Amino acid sequence: PPEIRAATRARTRSGPAPVTDVAKLCVCDLLVAQCDVNCCCDPDCNAADFSLFTTCSVPIVTGDSRLCSQKAAIYSLDVEANPPERIFKLIDQVNPSVFCIHATNYKQALSFSSPEMPTSENFDQLLKRFSSATFSAEPDSWNMNTDAQNPSDANETYRYEYGVPIQTADAFLRLPSPVVSSWCSDANPAGFLVNQATKCTRSVSVENCGNIQAVSMLFYINSSILAVNITVQSIVVQSLNGMRTLLNGSDVLRLPMILDELCINIVLGVSYHITYTGAGEIIEAAASFVLGAINKEALSIQQSFEISFTQVNTKPVPLSGNPGYVVGLPIRAGFRPQGYPFPIEIFFVALNTNKYSQLTILQSTSNQDCLAAQGARTPILFGYNMISGCKLRITAAMKCKPLTQTLLDLLKGQSFPEYVASFGNSQSQDVLDWVPITHLHTSEQRIYNTFQSSCHIPVSLEIEVKWTKYGSLVNPQARIVNVTASITTTILKQLPSRRERTIPITSSVVFTDISSPAEPGYKAWPTINAKLPFDFFFPFV
């Protein structure tokens, strides 16, 4: 109704009225209620302050200089006087040009226009006029007015995004987890693509073992993830003394029941494996159970839950970072299958899916004897410099070649990889994301004579990993650029019989940051674009 509209217009706030009196304008008056230094027009300054100034930072305040006659306020410091004082003059400045503006009949000619204040009425129209591309706060599917909406979305499979809770028929797929204390809470929804593993305690007793829902298999596979049923992948039965056996037939639902004063078929652990497609749909869900038994004395059990996501048609490879390496996660490494260089598909086989045994170094043992080390190895974690070693006791009876081979095996391990992943999430199909390991051989002593008969045995392996920071300044990602494995050999002199010698064998890993410092980038200078409008002389041109 027009009355309300008029009232709203009256209520519309407008910006503060612009100050046009040159005597009151002061550009350098920045501090409120305080005197700004060297600001002669500051009204907060008194004569004592003026006497301390050296110059006037703002000597003149004028209006638009294109006007024929305008007022100007001139501030200056009279340094001759003692103490120095400020002189303020208000004069009429005259523009001598013949093209000075005598008068204007256009109100907004010489000042910036006050912008329209947005109100609830004109907000949409202002937004349409002035806004550029924005991200919309509401997803398009909530807007019922768009024409391109497909109303039959209800029956299609849902597409998930990272972290979105997985929906089941009645609620969300739950992964019980401890909240505050270690008691299980059933309200933790499983997020899509969020691999979780939780452990919590649940109170049970033999008397009501059939009544507690959360220890029964049915509770975990009852709900179907919308179109996909949860199948039972495997069942492992754990006996009272902790021994686990895998059951052969896994399609039988085993519910808790009392048998010989024990309550059996109690769920001790569930592991969900969800298969998803690249488009974000869940196509398969499987659960593996660990069932156990409790006796009369047990008051609570510990349950462990796990959920993992695998993309369809891929083998799950654990990542060490996404995309840059995360400090503390193992380095991913692998081999390239032999074949003609650049075959159609090159796949780097990660050593095995155990991510901790891809690139390893010797692990020091307590007895420090290399030959008794028994192949204990420790994985190389990104960012952690490590050094390890052992002592090798050489007797006269040892032959050179087998000793060399043994030491090489000791230092490098059983299968030393050829390539290292440059990012924590490098896929094996991307050849360029893998960095070859460069091997160097150095000798401890300078070889003066090239006697082939002398025995060179490797005594140290140093792996140097050069990495750089990659990506944006705010969130740099670690990227491995170069890996060099240097083996240092020494000459083994033949020992007289029944003599022994001990030499130390070391292996080390060093991570060096070779990132170059960030360079600032600046925008190009703006250019002046002054042209007559295209159709200015319209009737004539």
Partner 1 sequence: LSSVPLQMLFYVNGIYYIFYFLATLAMIVYKSQVFSYPDDFLAPDLALLFIMAILEVLRLYLGSKGNLTEEEAPLGLSLAITVGSMILSVYFLVWQTYVLQADVIINAVLLFTYGLESVLKVIAIAAFVS
Contacts with partner 1, residue ranges (CB under 8 A): 68, 97-106, 108-109, 530, 532, 536
| d(C-alpha 270, C-alpha 400), whole Å | 54
Supply the DSSP string of 185-208, one letter for each residue: ETT-BPBTT--EEEEEEEE--STT
| d(C-alpha 63, C-alpha 341), whole Å | 77
Q: Which is nearer to partner 1, 451 or 540 (CB)?
A: 540
Smallest distance from the beta carbon of 540 to partner 1, in angstroms? Answer: 11
Smallest distance from the beta carbon of 109 to partner 1, in angstroms? Answer: 6
Q: Which is nearer to partner 1, 105 or 452 (CB)?
A: 105
Q: Which is nearer to partner 1, 99 or 522 (CB)?
A: 99
Q: Which two tokens stand for residue 255?
A: 């519910």
| d(C-alpha 212, C-alpha 186), whole Å | 13
| d(C-alpha 522, C-alpha 526), whole Å | 12
What residue ranges in 122-217 does DSSP mark as E strands? Answer: 177-178, 184-185, 196-203
Smallest distance from the beta carbon of 104 to partner 1, in angstroms? Answer: 5
The letter for the amino acid at 241 is N
Letter string b/e over residues 199-216, b meaning 16 or more CB atoms within 10 A of that residue's CB: ebebebebeebeebeebb
Q: Which is nearer to partner 1, 180 or 541 (CB)?
A: 541
Q: Which two tokens stand for residue 271?
A: 């592991």
The pairing of beta strand 262-276 with beta strand 300-311: parallel
Smallest distance from the beta carbon of 71 to partner 1, in angstroms? Answer: 18
Smallest distance from the beta carbon of 86 to partner 1, in angstroms? Answer: 34
Smallest distance from the beta carbon of 125 to partner 1, in angstroms? Answer: 20
Q: Which is nearer to partner 1, 114 or 494 (CB)?
A: 114
The tally of CA atoms less than 13 A away on the side-chain side of residue 195 is: 10
- Whole-number CA gyration radius for the chain: 40
Q: Which is nearer to partner 1, 100 or 408 (CB)?
A: 100
| d(C-alpha 513, C-alpha 479), whole Å | 10
| d(C-alpha 151, C-alpha 141), whole Å | 10
Q: Which is nearer to partner 1, 116 or 464 (CB)?
A: 116
Smallest distance from the beta carbon of 72 to partner 1, in angstroms? Answer: 18
What number of other Cβ atoms are within 10 A of residue 35's Cβ? Answer: 18
Smallest distance from the beta carbon of 102 to partner 1, in angstroms? Answer: 5
Q: Which is nearer to partner 1, 48 or 532 (CB)?
A: 532
